[in-house]
Amino acid sequence: MVREPVYHGGQPPTPVPAAQPPLGDTPPAFDEELRPQSLADVVGQRAVVERLQIMLNAARKRKEPLGHLLLDGPPGLGKTTFATVLPKELGTECQITSGPVLSAPKDLLPYLTNAGYGSVLFIDEIHRLPPAVEEFIYPVMEDFRVDISLGEGLNARTINLKLKHFTVIGATTRSGMLTAPLRDRFVNREHLDFYQVEDLAEIVRRNSRKLGSELTADAALEIARRSRGTPRIANNLLLWSRQFSDSEADGRITTEICRAALLKKEIDVLGLDRQDRRYLETLIAVFAGGPAGIQALAHSMNVAADTLEDEVEPFLLRTGFLQRTPRGRMITAAAFTHLGIAPPPADPPTGRLF
Ligand code: ADP
């Protein structure tokens, strides 16, 4: 029997306060509606899906829980999707929490005592677990026991609590921030990569059917090309195009409607948004294309340097519009071409006579 995820500890399901892609969040109701419900529903990431299928088959045959699994990759690529699909495939319970809300070991206890044999505990943003909780979780993951200290001084004593054998699935956007001991406790690790345009188009087509919207094949490709390799962004652009068509046309999503919708949202043909273009334009206008330090750029744009590093630069680096050099950020010739701005002459005159 496939059960719905359950939430314990008197806390509501944790809204995921993860670093979000700059194109915003999918409304939670749609996020759940569009999320694949089985491994067969998952599009792309073939190598990862095949390895997870093998893990599932083996666990079913041996009637044993899955080994702990760490999923890493940028936001919106399917970490939560994989983490919730696996317990559904096994017909076991799934509890969901995240690193930042587990501020002390006691916050984790209700999840541990409620975890049934073979069930899954999904910890999103596991790199943000405080050190005390991280240390508390080591014996949990290794020996399925917790050591609880009671009292202080002479009266202090430790209680050992035996837990059921369950599976921790951790998700992180920053695997480099995980400590080695925590990383080593995950026997299985999978990295999710950006998606091909064809896979994103397939996700868009499937999701338009789920939403009951009429969408042409070309419109699906148009959305996919502008989705920065990320299913969550593809979903957001689909939802926006659908709203746009409902408001401005007859509800069908054609290429024409799609282009008009994305123009209104200021998303260009490669998926750059206003913030991305502002970054490149500032680099050109204020720093003559670079090199420029991130703090100087952030001041000029009046945006936090972290925001630029987390939300803007990764995509510009991937598109080859930006280079990070030891001297600072530099714009590339491809960015000038994309923005339709003439690059400065290769060897600018110095203005000196001698
Ligand atoms: P993450 O946890 O990595 O931030 P999610 O699992 O929340 O990403 O994915 C965001 C949305 O993108 C999901 O709700 C789902 O609709 C869609 N999605 C992600 N990966 C896939 C996939 N491989 N196939 C189909 N849809 C996907």
For 304-317, write each residue's pLDDT tens digit. 999 999 899 999 99
Catalytic, out of 80, 97, 172, 254? 80
Sole residue written with tokens 């720093």: 287
CATH top-level class for 197-264? mainly alpha
Phi and psi at 121, nearest 5°, equal: -110, 115
The catalytic position among 124, 199, 273, 276 is 124
Kindly list the domain boundaries of the chain, sorted by start residue. Answer: 39-191, 197-264, 274-339
The residues, ordered by sequence, that sit 6+ positions from 328 with a Cβ below 8 Å of its Cβ are 290, 291, 292, 293, 294, 296
What distance in Å separates the CA atoms of residue 195 and residue 197, rounded to the nearest whole number?
6
β-strand pairing of 145-150 with 157-162: antiparallel
pLDDT tens string 182-233: 999 999 999 999 999 999 999 999 999 999 999 999 999 999 999 999 999 9
Q: For the domain made up of 39-191, give the CATH fold.
A: Rossmann fold (3.40.50)
pLDDT reported for residue 133: 94
Q: Let me know if domain 274-339 sits in CATH 1.10.3470.10.
A: no
Helices (H), 169-254: 180-184, 197-211, 217-225, 231-248
In tens, the pLDDT along 92-128 reads 999 999 999 999 999 999 999 999 999 999 999 999 9
User: Is 81 designated active site?
Assistant: no
Q: Are 284 and 329 in contact (CB under 8 A)?
A: no
Higher pLDDT, 148 or 2: 148
Same topology between domain 39-191 and domain 274-339: no
Sign of the alpha-carbon torsion through 125, 131, 134, 138: positive
173 catalytic residue (yes or no): yes
From the CA of 82, give the closest atom in ligand 1.
6
- 124 labelled catalytic: yes
Report the C-alpha gap between 290 and 98 in whole angstroms.
39
